[in-house]
């Protein structure tokens, strides 16, 4: 158990819908990272927050957004969902903004 929690574990929704994925980092970790893992894409970095502020952006679509709250949990919002958004979404956390990252169990999103 990495100490990073993610909810929900599974999510099934229809195209065009909007969903919110939630992540709680390990106790004491200030950084939260979001990744997308598709079958043919490997682990793709989406976005990082450090202590409530956006720190870095990766290959994140404009339809996707995230935020980190004062209690350091983070939410990833996915809107106008498309079939191709079906994937595993992982959250990871680290102590600072440059430490080793510890991953949560993931949310499996299926868009039908």
Partner 1 sequence: GQQLNQSPQSMFIQEGEDVSMNCTSSSIFNTWLWYKQDPGEGPVLLIALYKAGELTSNGRLTAQFGITRKDSFLNISASIPSDVGIYFCAGPYFSGSARQLTFGSGTQLTVLP
Contact footprint for partner 1 (CB under 8 A):
2, 4, 33, 42-43, 45, 48, 55-56, 58, 90, 92, 97-98, 100-106, 108
Residue 110 neighbours by CB under 8 Å, 6+ apart = 10, 11, 12, 13, 86
Nearer of residues 55 and 79 to partner 1, judged by Cβ: 55
CB of 67 to partner 1, least distance (A): 17
Nearest CA among 109, 92, 94, 112 for reference residue 33: 92
CB of 19 to partner 1, least distance (A): 19
CB of 5 to partner 1, least distance (A): 11
Nearer of residues 79 and 103 to partner 1, judged by Cβ: 103
């Amino acid at each position: 158990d990495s100490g990073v929690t993610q909810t929900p574990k599974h999510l099934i929704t229809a195209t065009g819908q909007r969903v919110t994925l939630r992540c709680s980092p390990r106790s004491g970790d200030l950084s939260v990272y979001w990744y997308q893992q598709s079958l043919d894409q490997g682990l793709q970095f989406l976005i990082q927050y450090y202590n409530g502020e956006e720190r870095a952006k990766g290959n994140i679509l404009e339809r996707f957004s995230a935020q980190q709250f004062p209690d350091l949990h983070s939410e990833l919002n996915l809107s106008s969902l498309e079939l191709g958004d079906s994937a595993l979404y992982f959250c990871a956390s680290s102590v600072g903004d440059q430490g080793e990252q510890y991953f949560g169990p993931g949310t499996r999103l299926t868009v039908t």
